[in-house]
Amino acid sequence: MTFLPDRTDMKTTVFSRARLAGLIVPLLMSAGAWTATLPALAQPAPVVRTLPDFTDLVDQVGPAVVNIRTMERASAKGSEDGAMDPEMQEFFRRFFGVPMPNLPRPGRPNRPAPQMPDEEVPRGVGSGFILSADGYVMTNAHVVDGADEVIVTLTDKREFKARIVGADKRTDVALVKIAATGLPFVKVGDVGRLRVGEWVMAIGSPFGLENTVTAGIVSAKQRDTGDYLPFIQTDVAVNPGNSGGPLINMRGEVVGINSQIYSRSGGFMGISFAIPIDEAMRVSDQLRASGHVTRGRIGVRIDQVTREVAESIGLGKPQGALVRNVESGSPAEKAGVEAGDIIVRFDGKTIDKASDLPRLVGNTKPGTRSTLTVFRRGQNRDLSITIAELEPDAVAAAGGKPAARGSEPAKAAGTVQALGVTVTELSDAQRKELKARHGVRVTAVADAAARAGLREGDVILAVGNTEVTNVREFEAAVAKADRGKPVNMLVQRGDMVQFVLVRAAR
């Protein structure tokens, strides 16, 4: 089938073109004069972007990057009568992470191997960079941890035995010293100026390949992967052996120490993390002065504040650090901090997330008088606190003791059917054992309470922003709660406190 044009439309088209020609021709004739009168902004120049050239940066920073080898003393045993060769054992240790057992060769008895003198064997390979011309070198704490000898190799192939000045496992920063002068050293940059999307470069010794250069961009800042450090995330290729090497910006300044990778295979997967250089310098200054790092502590265990909890208690947005436990005799207890408080500011600095608190407190000198702002029962309160010293490498105890189950009979009991929780008042013995000044003890859970995670033996300290000291107050607080929203309960389990949101059945 052939479609013929509609002649009415054709006439209209011809007529329209004629009219358009009469309009366009004069415009074309005056185009030169018209464009001459256009302002400069009407003719934007095309933006030309090119990939960065790192060659000058490598020449500038490369000589200050070092290779670090570590050695450890081990008792070597002969391989007579079938024991696996020491070289093969070292191969398995380095590439599989565990020593291979001494298996006898087929057809030979497994006789005891003769003892030989202790010898030093390779332990690991890492990277580092020179901070000063007199031989101070920064690297990761895990690079030198457990080493009996540290050997630093410069780009000019000179080797030095290094002395470990100090190492801080919490931040994974270490400082070593070599006996040399007139060394090339790095320039320290300003992490505050570092922007997401900015080009950065790494130099290190991945898999022992010295002075390997890789590059990428800053993927994110303030990544929380540790208690005391907000890491810089990049897509720079970092592999085992890069640890301790510098992360360098396009101005040739060190902005971080390459420290960790995210990997499911042990190799690079596009995500690597660097310690911000400002944090590392604070640590290295203390290591240089005293060989160790002094940190502040206040004696609380904390947790994140969820959006639902923040909304249910009137905090608004999720911020601050939820206090789950207050250590007995700690600065926090002396200052009046209570389990269930939410610390929203420290010395006037806002606590956006829980991990901000240990960093701010840790960077405060012990003995300093500081101010904590806590959100409690719907109101902010300022508490004065004296910072104590955190014990070196102290590890906080995990978990809490089981909830107390006193032998005295309960004074009274009550049931709130809508929430599926049965409670009883605390006996004097239970209050003393739990160190609880108020609250009611859960004796049974069902329905909404069970779904929310309440357990028998839990102690409910508050409903919403209302403290409860007995069953009657508990029932009254629940009755006043808006059943259209989750009912927020402050619950003590063992020696830890948490918020539990119970959604009432409708």
Q: Catalytic site residues?
A: 142, 172, 243
d(CA 319, CA 464): 18
**What kind and span of H or E run contains 338?**
none
Per DSSP, helices labelled H in 373-488 are 428-434, 447-452, 471-480
Among the listed residues 306, 346, 299, 307, the one whose alpha carbon sits nearest the alpha carbon of residue 323: 299
Residues in the chain: 506
Q: Where are the beta strands (DSSP E) in 109-153?
A: 115-130, 136-139, 149-153
d(CA 292, CA 290): 5
User: Is residue 215 a contact partner of residue 249, using CB atoms and an 8 Å limit?
Assistant: no
CA 438 from centroid of its chain's CA atoms: 36
Q: Which own/partner contact pairs does 151-154 have at CB distance under 8 Å and 24+ positions apart?
A: 151/68, 151/69, 151/70, 151/71, 152/66, 152/67, 152/68, 152/128, 152/176, 152/178, 153/66, 153/67, 153/68, 153/69, 153/210, 154/63, 154/66, 154/183
User: Is residue 419 a contact partner of residue 487, using CB atoms and an 8 Å limit?
Assistant: yes
